Amino acid sequence: MSRGKITVLSVTITLLMVGALLTSFFLSGWAGRDRPPIELPPKDAQTGRPDGDIPRPMISFPPYRPLGFDPATAPQVIETLSRSRAYLCDIRVQWLWAGGGVSRTYRLAVRGDLYGVMEFSGDVDLSGPVLPTPDYYYLMNPERQLRWTSQARGDMIGVIYEGARGTESADELCSVPTYENLLNLPEGAITYIDYETGEQGRFLVVNTREKLYIGHYLLSEETGLLHQAFFYDIDDPDPTRPVYCMEMTAYREGDPGDGYFTQPEGTVKITGR
């Protein structure tokens, strides 16, 4: 084949390729006229969250590497935590609703199976050297319980109950959803479990989905205690608004001292083992 024929053939192939590209461009542009416009969300729009991922109003954590716990094994993971037999801690609890809320502050003293609970109305600072007078005071061991109040209830003030131990635990007296409850949840109620590390320590994070609420628990690996808990109304259109918040604001390991197991009148009523 002569050089001239090769040149003509090359030019022809090139023109055909250019024509094909132009045709494709115009066809795609014309078809694009019928496509609906793509609307981008506003910059402040909320992004969707998976079922097990809910916000944490009180503390935040840096990125972490999931360990991949299976939620079905949550009870076994939770049971690996251990707590001291003697400690003192302060707990703040809030119940929230549209337009308002109420809060309580508790000091919990533990010595083996002996518990002392002080209950204060409102968000009370207990870090000072002198404690304010609690609204209610509870002492209990496995058999007996004593309740005392500084608030007049009819013609009663002081000791309002002394007798057999009730069914309430010390955690329940502090309005705390003790994490042992997690062990009794129905199958499938735990949607997420993993460890996270933040400025306040390392925590086992457990999310739950029950009939009425989504729960979010942070259990301290160091103390073995529930550090924070949040409940969210499962039907609330605002997924960032909790209806219940609990936070352990102070913790001290070791024997709390006899004063926490003595009723305010000064007589030791209950002893533990």
- How far apart, in Å, are the Cα atoms of 18 and each of 9, 24, 211? 15, 10, 64
What does pLDDT average to in each consecutive run of 10 residues of the chain (273 residues)? 48 53 45 36 33 41 49 81 92 92 95 92 90 88 82 60 79 84 86 85 89 91 92 85 94 92 59 48
pLDDT score of 68: 56
Dihedral angle at the C-alpha atoms of 150, 152, 153, 154, nearest 10 degrees?
160
172 dihedral zone (left: phi>0; alpha: psi -120 to 50; beta): alpha
pLDDT score of 227: 93
Task: Fill in the amino acid letter for 20.
Answer: A
Q: Are 110 and 87 in contact (CB under 8 A)?
A: yes
pLDDT score of 53: 40
pLDDT score of 157: 61
Per DSSP, helices labelled H in the chain are 3-32, 74-78, 170-173
pLDDT score of 41: 32
Give me the domains of the chain, ranges plus CATH numbers: 71-261 (2.50.20.10)
Report the SS3 class of residue 260: helix
